[in-house]
């Protein structure tokens, strides 16, 4: 019930507009550019950007700050030491993440305010508009961060992930209606529309299949060989980096494109406008950079999150070994080889899922945004939420069994 209430609050906030903007002119502006960067940002914010609500920039600044801190905590020695201090160190890292969220949200809000003001749709003074816009958007992002933390603590599942999923799901009905309208108006061939639906379902099945794929490395315990013949294994996911590579890759490419579009002015020959054009969705330069950045972050994040030497040492200390592999250095090299192979195929899978909609959008000429990144995020979060629900049900069953009263023995 708390989760449902929080999601209702999130959807209500997505309809609370930032003051000082002509709503009709804003809707026309969005329709003229919904197939590019604005379409992707609007998808993540659950339609808030289209309405220019207080949640227009959504939770993405917090996601970016969290990823940056997570990567920095593996590189910077002082932050790495904080992670080992338990709850006290975790609180300090959380504080740094929140400060980074405020800074990123402020920079992004100022950029959004600059872009909107340049479109001549503002009905108040420049100073008043910038102050109100930056305050509202930063406040909205911080409120979503707090709401996500409350969902994690009082509800079920990861609150931040569920807010992202809710924003993506909120855009599905409008996408279906838009596809139906374009098909009825003969703007899209009916066979093309059916192909889009079937392709989306097939891509969803593929994401579920690959996200469930495991590489099981057999492990034996020297002390348990005589006592038990049960096989033990180390499970390695095919996609060990999760949804972080496409999110970070989108952010890396998105920010230069947005700032180039915002500050490029109206001159199409301006070099900033040329950069913004090259980095639009469907452009070859964008797809090449997007694919290369995804592959890079797949390897980079996996290298930071997984230490083969540490795992080999832990196996050695617990008296475990991989059959036909000597403990210690050889085990570390073997695990590193396995993870590198998995990362290669995982990066290939994530890149394919994220690029298929981009290729379809540019070749077929679909006039609205299709996001492989959003589909990947939605499916992964849904699978994780399903696991959380199953774990919660199992916990409730155990508590029910423990609390079940026992009948006292009576003599007949």
Helix pair angle (2-13, 159-170), 10° resolution: 50
pLDDT tens for the 412 residues of the chain, in order: 899 999 999 989 888 888 888 777 777 776 665 555 555 566 656 566 677 888 888 888 888 888 788 778 877 888 878 877 777 888 888 889 999 999 999 988 888 888 788 878 888 888 898 999 999 999 999 999 999 999 988 888 888 888 888 888 887 887 788 788 888 888 778 888 888 888 888 888 988 999 888 888 888 876 655 444 455 888 888 888 888 888 778 777 776 666 665 555 555 566 666 776 777 766 788 888 888 989 998 998 888 778 888 888 888 888 888 888 888 888 889 989 999 999 999 999 999 988 887 777 777 666 555 667 788 888 888 888 888 888 888 877 777 677 655 555 555 5
What CATH number belongs to 174-381? 1.10.3370.10
Q: Where in the chain is the domain with CATH 1.10.3370.10?
A: 1-170, 174-381
Q: Could you tell me the two tokens for 394?
A: 């199992």
Determine how many CB atoms are found less than 10 A away from the CB of residue 360: 18
Cα(374)–Cα(223) distance, rounded to whole angstroms?
A: 47
Cα(93)–Cα(129) distance, rounded to whole angstroms?
A: 34
- Residue 221's pLDDT is 78
Matching CATH number, 1-170, of 1.10.3370.10, 2.40.420.20, 3.90.1150.10, 3.40.640.10 = 1.10.3370.10
34-37 LR contacts (CB < 8 Å, sep 24+): 34/368, 34/369, 35/281, 35/282, 35/361, 35/366, 35/367, 35/368, 35/369, 36/280, 36/281, 36/369, 37/254, 37/257, 37/258, 37/261, 37/280, 37/281
- Residue 5's pLDDT is 92
């Amino acid at each position: 019930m708390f989760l449902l209430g929080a999601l209702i609050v999130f959807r209500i906030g997505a309809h609370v507009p930032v003051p000082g903007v002509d709503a009709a002119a804003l809707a026309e502006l969005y329709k003229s550019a919904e197939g590019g960067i604005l379409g992707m940002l609007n998808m993540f914010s659950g339609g808030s950007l289209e309405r220019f609500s207080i949640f227009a920039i959504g939770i993405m600044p917090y996601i970016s700050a969290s990823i940056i801190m997570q990567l920095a905590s593996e590189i910077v020695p002082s932050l790495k030491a904080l992670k080992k201090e338990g709850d006290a160190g975790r609180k300090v890292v959380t504080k740094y993440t929140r400060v980074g969220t405020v800074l990123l949200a402020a920079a992004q809000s100022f950029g959004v305010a600059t872009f909107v003001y340049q479109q001549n749709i503002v009905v108040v003074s420049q100073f008043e508009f910038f102050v109100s816009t930056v305050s509202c958007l930063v406040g909205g992002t911080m409120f979503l961060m707090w709401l996500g933390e409350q969902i994690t603590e009082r509800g079920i599942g990861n609150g931040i992930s569920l807010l992202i999923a809710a924003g993506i799901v909120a855009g599905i009905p409008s996408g279906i209606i838009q596809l139906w309208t374009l098909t009825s108006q003969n703007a899209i061939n009916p066979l093309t529309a059916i192909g889009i639906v079937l392709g989306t379902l097939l891509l969803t099945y593929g994401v579920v299949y690959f996200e469930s794929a495991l590489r099981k490395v057999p492990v034996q315990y020297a002390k348990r060989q005589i006592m038990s013949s049960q096989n033990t294994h180390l499970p390695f996911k095919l996609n060990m980096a999760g949804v972080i590579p496409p999110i970070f890759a989108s952010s890396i490419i998105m920010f230069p494109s947005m700032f180039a579009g915002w500050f490029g002015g109206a001159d199409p020959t301006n070099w900033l406008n040329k950069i913004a054009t090259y980095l639009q969705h469907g452009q070859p330069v964008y797809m090449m950079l997007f694919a290369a950045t995804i592959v890079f972050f797949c390897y980079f994040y996996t290298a930071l999150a997984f230490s083969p030497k540490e795992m080999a040492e832990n196996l050695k200390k617990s008296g475990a070994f991989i059959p036909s592999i000597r403990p210690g250095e050889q085990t570390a090299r073997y695990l590193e080889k396995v993870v590198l192979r998995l990362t290669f195929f995982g990066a290939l899978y994530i890149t394919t899922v994220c690029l298929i909609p981009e290729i379809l959008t540019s070749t077929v000429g679909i006039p609205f945004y299709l996001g492989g990144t959003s589909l990947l995020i939605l499916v992964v979060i849904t699978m994780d939420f399903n696991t959380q629900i199953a774990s919660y049900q199992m916990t409730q069953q155990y508590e029910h069994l423990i609390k079940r009263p026992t009948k006292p023995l009576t003599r007949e």
